[in-house]
Amino acid sequence: MLEQIGETYKVIWKSDRLYNTIATAFEVQDVDGDGNREVIFEDQSYGTGGGSRSLMVYSTSNTRLFSVTESLNWQDRAGPVSPEIEIISADAPDMIRVLEAVAKSHGFLQPGKVVDFDSPEFSVQRWHKENGTRTSGIVRLHYYEGHPPCKATVVTTLDTGTVLWMSFFKGPLIGYEKLNDRHFVAFSAAWSYNWAKNLAFDGQSLWFGSHCKNGLMSFRLADNRLESYESFQGTGLPEVEKLELDDRVLILNGTLTVPLDALIKGISLSTKLQVN
């Protein structure tokens, strides 16, 4: 914003750096009825992991910037689906009411999307609602009719006969019961980048390694038990890029061998010691 001084101008206010301004959302009008016009504009920035958009109102009479920002974090699978709201300069109640009205007229502060936990569209939200962010223990499953909807890229699949296991990019690990024509979320990582990237089945448990995470995990459908394995015989397990199973021996990354029975026994002893 410029103020004329003689035959030239000086800057009396400028915004912080903007990332993606919307040309159609730039207005100069008197929104608070005090006879002075305010500058109204929007800014937004989105990526694959989240994003935000802001409506800003600069008051020329108060020489202050007011704003409403709606932020989403898609990386947090255990978090809310509605945006987080932040209001800057909330210490001016009269202006906040004006800001709210202007924001609504620009499509902000709208009712959040209704979450239907019985719909497969919100299967991940239901899993975290019932299981939190756990990576071990007995988990609650909810069954949805039909084949799982594929809204994300399928990273890997494994057909174990009655169940087709599917892992989705930045998404959950899902089991599809072919005979019953229904599916369920077996595991959903709290951080979207920890998706299951390889699968192996020993006849009872499904084994998998996670993206950007060291160690192994397993899921046993017989009792809905989820387990995490971070080390074996005192040595930390690496991030598993490749997973194979040969005669009850897990082969990690083509070279590291881990006997299943010894691994499971070690976890059981560790768990028992922790309980005692």
Which residues of the chain does CATH 2.40.128 include?
Answer: 120-275
**pLDDT score for 229:** 95
Chain centroid to CA 205: 26
| Range with the poorest average pLDDT among 60-64, 89-93, 145-149 | 89-93
Statement: residue 10 has pLDDT above 80: yes
Under the banding of pLDDT at 50, 70 and 90, the label for residue 218 is very high
**Domain at 120-275, CATH from 1.20.1070, 2.40.30, 2.40.128, 3.40.50:** 2.40.128
Structure-token match 């709290």, residue found: 190
Give the mean pLDDT of 97-104.
93
Residue 91 has pLDDT above 90, yes or no: no
Q: pLDDT class for 234, splitting at 50, 70, 90?
A: confident
Find out whether 240 and 228 touch, Cβ atoms under 8 Å. no
Average pLDDT for 213-224? 96
Predicted confidence at residue 154, as pLDDT, reads 96
Give the separation between CA 235 and CA 229, rounded to whole angstroms: 11
pTM, two decimal places = 0.82
pLDDT of 271 > 70? The answer is no
pLDDT tens digits for range 27-55: 999 999 999 999 999 999 888 789 999 99
Tokens encoding 134: 């756990």
The set of long-range contacts for 196-199, using a CB threshold of 8 Å and a minimum separation of 24, is: 196/155, 196/156, 196/167, 197/155, 197/156, 197/167, 197/240, 197/241, 198/156, 198/240, 198/241, 198/242, 198/243, 199/156, 199/157, 199/158, 199/165, 199/167, 199/243
Q: Percent of the chain, pLDDT > 90?
A: 74
Average pLDDT of the residues in 16-24: 78
Higher pLDDT, 150 or 103: 103
Supply the pLDDT for residue 48.
78
Q: What's the mean pLDDT in 77-99?
A: 87
